[in-house]
Amino acid sequence: MQVAIVGQGYVGLPLAIAAANVGHHVVGIDTNPKQIALLLRGLSPIGDISDSDISAVIASEHYRATDNFQSVSTAEIVIICVPTPLDSAYNPDLSFLESALKSIAPHLTTDSLVIIESTVAPGTTRNLVAELLTKSGKPFDLAYSPERIDPANSTWNVTNTPKLVAGLSEQATMRAVSFYRSFVETVTTGSSLEVIETAKLLENSFRLVNISFINEVAQFCAALKIDVREVVDAAATKPYGFMPFYPSAGVGGHCIPVDPKYLSSKADEIGVPSRFIDLAHEINLSLPSYFAGVATGMLGSLKDKKILVVGIAYKPDVADSRETPAAGIITALRTAGAVVSWHDDFVNEWKNETSAPLTDTYDLAILVNPHTHCDLTLLATTPVLNTRGGY
C-alpha cells in the first residue's frame, strides 16, 4: 500500500518503519526540518529506532522522509501521528492535529483512508476531524486507532502490541484492519469511534489514578519509616486482584499527565463527574512541593544549598523530557533558594542548561529518573533523596 504518515517522532517513526518492513511504500512527513535532515541521512532521532533500521528501509526504497504534504496525493492511506498536548491552563490543545488535517486535506485523493492515531476526546474524530476533511470536497474513509507506544520498552513494540480500530463506516473499519493486520499481530475492532477514543483515555487515566495513589502510599510509608517498594512487592505476591504500581516524583511523558485531562474535559462538557482524575492530577501537581519539603527536612534549609537532580527524562532510559516531573521539583527547590544542577546523559541539554557531572560536591542529590547505566557511586557520601522509594 502507498502510505503517508504525518509526524515522525516517538509514534509515527516506529509505525513507519514497521509498515515499510513488510513492504508498504511509506512516506514520513514532518514539519521539523531537523527531524527530516536526520532521517534523510539515515540517522534516528529517537532511541527506539536505530540508524540501521532507517538505513535499511531507505535502501529498500520502502521509506522516505519529507516536509512536503504534496506526498499525500499519492497515498491511499494517510495516518496522523502528531502531538495532542495540553495548553498552559491544562486544557486539551488540538492545534497540531488541526494543522495536520488542514495540510493534508487539499491533497487527499478520491477514497483516501485517513487514520487518526493522536489521542483525542470522544467525538473528536466524528466531528472535528470529519468536518475539516470534508472541506477537501473529496470522498474519504475515516478511522481511529490510538497509538500505544511505550518508549524504551524492550518487550512491547508496534508489531506485538494489540491494536484498537474503529471506523466512521464499516468500510473504513475493514480497510484500517486490513492495513494494520499486515504487520500487527492482534487487531481488535470497536463498535464506534467513541468507544475506541474512550478506551485510549481509560488506559492512561487508570495509570494516572494508580500512580498518584501509590505516591500517597509512599508518603505514608515514609512516615512509618518502611520501604514502600517492599510493601508493593509483598502485595504483588497475591496472584489476583492486585497490580503493582511504584512511586515516583510524578507522572511525565506524552500520555499519562495529558490523556486523562482529555477525558475530564469531555466529562465537564457533558456534565458528568471525573473526581478521581481531578484528584489524581492534583496529587501529581503537589509532589514537587512535597519533595522540596523532604529536602528541607534533610538539610535544615535549602537556601544556598547545592543540590543535584538526577534524571531529567520523564522515565529511565529515554531522552524524552516532555512533562518531566523533574521540572516541578527544580522550580520548587530554586524558589526555596537552592542552587540546583541536574545530571542526565540521555538528555544533555534542557531549557538552555546542560547536564552536570555526577560528583560528591553537592549537599544533596535527588533521584528522579536515573538511567540504568547511571553510576551513582560517583556521588560517594552525598546524601540522597530517592523519589522512587526505597532506602
Question: Which of the following is catalytic: 81, 221, 255, 374?
Answer: 255
Buried b (16+ CB within 10 A) or exposed e, 189-212: bbebbbebbbebbebbbebbbebb
Written as nine digits, the cell of 318 is 529515554
Q: What angle do CA 91, 206, 250 make, to 5 degrees?
A: 65
Written as nine digits, the cell of 7 is 509526524
Q: CA torsion 64→70→73→78, rounded to 10°?
A: 60
C-alpha 94/C-alpha 59 separation (Å) is 35
Q: What angle do CA 152, 208, 294 make, to 5 degrees?
A: 90
Alpha-carbon distances of 121 from 17, 261, 264, rounded to whole Å? 27, 9, 9
C-alpha 353/C-alpha 196 separation (Å) is 40
Is 255 designated active site?
A: yes
Compute φ and ψ for 23, nearest 5 degrees. 105, -5
- Find, among 225, 370, 230, 381, the residue nearest to 294 by Cα: 225
Task: Please check whether residue 360 is in contact with residue 381, taking contact to mean a CB–CB distance below 8 angstroms.
Answer: yes
Task: Please check whether residue 36 is in contact with residue 140, taking contact to mean a CB–CB distance below 8 angstroms.
Answer: no
Beta bridge partners of 79: 5, 115
At a CB cut-off of 8 Å and minimum separation 6, what does 35 contact? 8, 9, 45, 65
Between strands 353-354 and 349-350, the pairing is antiparallel
Written as nine digits, the cell of 10 is 516517538
DSSP SS3 for 391: coil
Written as nine digits, the cell of 223 is 512516615
Could you give the residue numbers annotated as active site?
Answer: 255
